Structure 1
Amino acid sequence: MRRQKRDRLGRAHSNGYQAGLSGKNKENCPYQNTDAKSEWLGGWREAVTDRNSGLFK
């Protein structure tokens, strides 16, 4: 059970990161669940920070 939950949240984080790298708005978060949404937004913020610091173009 724990592994499935962790995988789901990890996937949400990864999807948020990809969205942030591609320049999508954080309002485009597809998750309604608070935990998954939090992970998605964390990934999105991380990607935006990476993109702004010049790691990706």
Structure 2
Amino acid sequence: MRRLKRDPMERAFLRGYQHGINGKSRDLCPFTHPTTRQAWINGWREGRGDNWDGLTGTAGIHRLNELHAVG
């Protein structure tokens, strides 16, 4: 049975979130397509906000799982 791939926008968002929660720069965005890049930046912003709120380590992992379940 083939597994369905996740939505590319969801994947971009989650990758951006991971960069943001780890305090990495927004300039590291690997995407050039405008909509995919925007999804990555939205994830990065969400991750940066969580980083500033102190949701790093285990709390950040739980937050990432919540975001993944919603998406």
TM-score w.r.t. structure 1 length? 0.84
Deviation string, structure 1 residues 3-52 (Cα, Å, up to 9, x no partner): x7x70000000000011112110011000000000000000000000010
Number of aligned positions between the proteins: 53
Map of 1:9 onto structure 2 = 9
Q: TM-score, normalised by structure 2?
A: 0.68
Q: Post-superposition, which runs of at least 4 consecutive aligned residues in structure 1 deviate over 6 A?
A: none
Structure having greater relative contact order (Cα 8 Å, sep ≥ 6): 1
CA distance in 1: counterparts of 2:51 and 2:7, whole angstroms: 25
What code does the residue aligned with 2:45 have? Answer: R
Q: 2 CA distance for matches of 1:23 and 1:49? A: 10
| Structure with bigger gyration radius | 2
Runs of 5+ in structure 1 lacking a partner?
none
Which of 17-26 and 32-41 deviates more? 17-26
The 1-side partners of 2:28 and 2:50 are apart by 19
